[in-house]
Structure 1
């Protein structure tokens, strides 16, 4: 038997295991933009649980086992509805039937304010003043970021069946459901849960402080 056949046979189980892992269980992603600051930074490498919301067959992308659905506060990776070949990451703030309002930078879910504006903290980032403000949705407690000098899109919607309303934590630097609408269930890829690596391109170094962090 030729050496290259033996070589291929020895690596086939490894290749198969990686394929199955990425297709059904866990897939790594890199954060390319700052739309989820302060939760996720540019250069973070994360793991996404593809099992949480059900098992889909690769290639045809058909859900064959329904396991769970996104909860308010989950950070999810999904295929961007206007361009499904592109993956986006945002936070689910509205599930089917929810009434979502966003006024004066305060998020309302079914009439209840989620944003704890009185606890805002001011700091400077990249030469401009920003505010970090806590929010809590279900078991998820996290911070969002505003740029006080910028205007913010406002309004109220009801989330249709089979879809989700998502926002970036960097509220004034995120193109999300306020701009392009809802995320259909079939566009979901999985739930982001862990930062396994982080690269700070400005310092050209690994950001060890972020490695091993759970995603709130």
Structure 2
């Protein structure tokens, strides 16, 4: 089971989700997407959004949900919550359920939470929905769309490169043949002195 929350502090709204327990979170770890950012809870970034520019109110919503859903963290004030892109999560067989480390610790950031803000937690809890998603199928569909998008981008890049090459070849040809018309048979005959009348030299002098 996965719990989904809607955060309306940004527009369009963002979706935050979390597994029912650490075992459910194992599936979220395994089948996360490239545009997921996670702490204990996950937020799926919207198109054009990166983990570098997540709005501060949305970070606060995620941090408050993380605190509220942590048995230990919910009892304490002045805690620090870390978050990172899903792709930075590192998991091996020796770790307990729900436990992770990171590939790159420089890609881990911190959010300071002074205390639980009930008005934030209550607002989010009103949007809570329980679902049983097929995370594997969602991941496979995401990867298919990504592959199609990547292929389309490559095709567009090749088309642009081909167009630029054609324009370059055309310009190159024009430069190489810029004076061709000056040496046509018609132009050469018109400048030939053999057809001048006998007074040509007198006119020249």
Query: Normalization by structure 2: what TM-score?
Result: 0.26
Point out the structure with the larger helix share. 2
More strand by share: 1
Larger radius of gyration: 2
Q: Which TM-score applies when normalising by structure 1?
A: 0.25
